[in-house]
């Protein structure tokens, strides 16, 4: 357990809770994470945990909010540094892969929430994250077509679906292999194939 200051503000305590859940999700099935396990990892009582969160679902909502804010901010920063749309798509791809490698519990949390039959707030937030992410990619694809980097006939929605699906496929394979870090080695070659599939032939 990481040593932390005994006295934290409410905001700091909430942030530590979110980080703890993501750490736990990297080690075990996210659906099996209990508030008792979270409190134990943090070195606090469940009562102390519930002073900052009304329920386990509210903790999951905070996790989804953290993931959405951090991932989209990273994607925006990566794409804004690229002058060309196709280069921006590659920067987004790389930034997403790096984010997953740094926080391996995140994809497990997302997959876990999206597989739940009931419509929880956390599940709706996961859907919203994917939608907002897709909108960013759609703008890059449209700009790529305008600037002649991508063919006029390219199906924009299909290009975005393939982009996200490619990352999801890499993540799924890495989870099956038990080593999320392996996607760093696979990502460049996989993006090269994606680029060949969508870019204007030269």
Domain ranges of the chain: 55-198
The per-residue pLDDT for range 116-173, each reduced to its tens digit, is: 778 888 888 888 999 999 999 999 999 999 999 999 999 999 999 999 999 999 999 9
What would the pLDDT profile of 168-180 be if each residue is shown by its tens digit? 999 999 988 888 8
Name the pLDDT band for 28 (thresholds 50, 70, 90): confident
CA distance linking residue 91 with residue 81, whole number of Å: 8
Task: Say what the pTM is.
Answer: 0.88
Give the integer Cα–Cα distance in Å for 160 and 171: 17
Q: How many other β-carbons are positioned within 10 Å of the β-carbon of residue 172?
A: 12
Q: Is the pLDDT of residue 4 over 90?
A: no
User: What is the rounded CA–CA span in Å between residue 92 and residue 114?
Assistant: 22
> How large is the C-alpha radius of gyration of the chain?
19
Asked: is 55-198 a CATH 1.10.357.10 domain? The reply is yes
Token couple for 65? 């909010």
Determine the 3-state secondary structure of 104 from DSSP.
coil
Please give the mean pLDDT across all residues of the chain. Answer: 90
């Amino acid at each position: 357990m990481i040593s932390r200051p005994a006295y934290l503000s409410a905001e700091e305590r909430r942030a530590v809770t979110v980080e703890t859940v993501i750490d736990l999700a990297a080690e075990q099935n996210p659906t099996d994470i209990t508030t008792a396990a979270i409190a134990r990892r943090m070195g606090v009582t469940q009562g102390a945990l519930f002073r900052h969160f009304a329920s386990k679902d509210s903790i999951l909502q905070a996790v989804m909010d953290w993931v959405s804010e951090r991932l989209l901010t990273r994607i925006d920063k990566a794409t804004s540094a690229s002058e060309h749309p196709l280069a921006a798509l590659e920067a987004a791809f790389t930034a997403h892969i790096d984010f997953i490698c740094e926080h391996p519990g995140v994809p497990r949390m997302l997959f876990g929430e999206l597989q739940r039959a009931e419509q929880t707030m956390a599940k709706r937030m996961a859907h919203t994250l994917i939608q907002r992410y897709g909108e960013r990619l759609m703008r890059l694809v449209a700009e790529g077509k305008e600037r002649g980097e991508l063919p006029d006939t390219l199906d924009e929605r299909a290009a975005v679906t393939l982009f996200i699906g490619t990352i999801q496929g890499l993540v799924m394979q890495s989870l099956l292999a038990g080593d999320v870090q392996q996607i760093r080695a696979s990502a460049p070659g996989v993006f090269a194939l994606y680029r060949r599939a969508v870019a204007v032939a030269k």
